[in-house]
Amino acid sequence: MRAWLGDVAVLTRRNLVHIAREPFQLSDVTVQPVLFTLLFTTLFGSAMVIPGGGTYKGFAIGGLVTMNLTTSGVGTAIAMASDLSKGVMNRFRTLPISRSAVLAGRTVTDVLSSVLCGSIVLLTGLAIGWRPGSGHGLAGVAAGLGVAVAFSYAVSWLTACLGLAVKDPESAQAVGLIVLFIGAFLSSCFVPTQGLPHWLRVFADWNPVSAVANSCRDLFGNPNPSALTHTFPAQHPVLFALASTAAIVAVCAPLATRLLRVRTTD
């Protein structure tokens, strides 16, 4: 186990050095969160009525944290496909490291990026007037961010599978964006689900992304209209979000390891 953890640490450092040499890779977790936060709070802020009361800024920040951390997972798919297409994985095969350490190093890097991304969304929110609810404070904000980061870690395993299943980085980007943007936008991230058509509302209410966004709102002490509905994810968002996170990791981590073994076996 100690050797495996050492391999993960070395591979994580390798990924961070790669980012330091190409800092524009971080645009999706630095520039994008600021732009999306300003855009959506300005675009919908004056027109959106929140069921149960509250401001749109208060409603939106939890969704924006979740959306940005979810969609940034496409970088994992691109990175895995790129390492395969450039022969980096073949070089790793010559080293005495396990395939799972390669994947774990990638996902640990993504967790660090997610913390940065979520923090930037929260700081941008504070700059435009968002505040956590009374009685929640820093502990509630940290707990909400923790739930979102944990979910983004699960998403990185999912997108690792996508990156290992396609042939090139361009395909990984295209497929990853389709999957992640559908998951992020067909949720309660930006609008309350009460006004959606019935079939779409059912999907959005049971979408794990909605549970994560609602968890952030509850833990931040912000308006959470989904609490007015009677579905299990709406009534127990933190429990459903963490259960979904565990389920995704349990399925995708072994699958990604198997896909990497298949792609790197002669």
For the segment 103-151, what is each residue's pLDDT rounded down to a tens digit? 888 889 989 999 999 999 999 999 999 999 876 789 999 999 999 999 9
> In this predicted structure, what is the pLDDT of residue 40?
87
In angstroms, the CA 200 to CA 164 distance is 31
Q: Which two tokens stand for residue 176?
A: 């990853």
Cβ contacts of 266 within 8 Å, gap of 6 or more: none
> In this predicted structure, what is the pLDDT of residue 266?
60
Would you kindly state where each structural domain of the chain is located, as residue ranges?
A: 2-44+54-263
Burial of 197 per CB tally in 10 Å (0-12, 13-18, 19+): exposed
Report, as ranges of residue numbers, the positions in the chain whose pLDDT lies below 70.
23, 25, 46-47, 135, 266
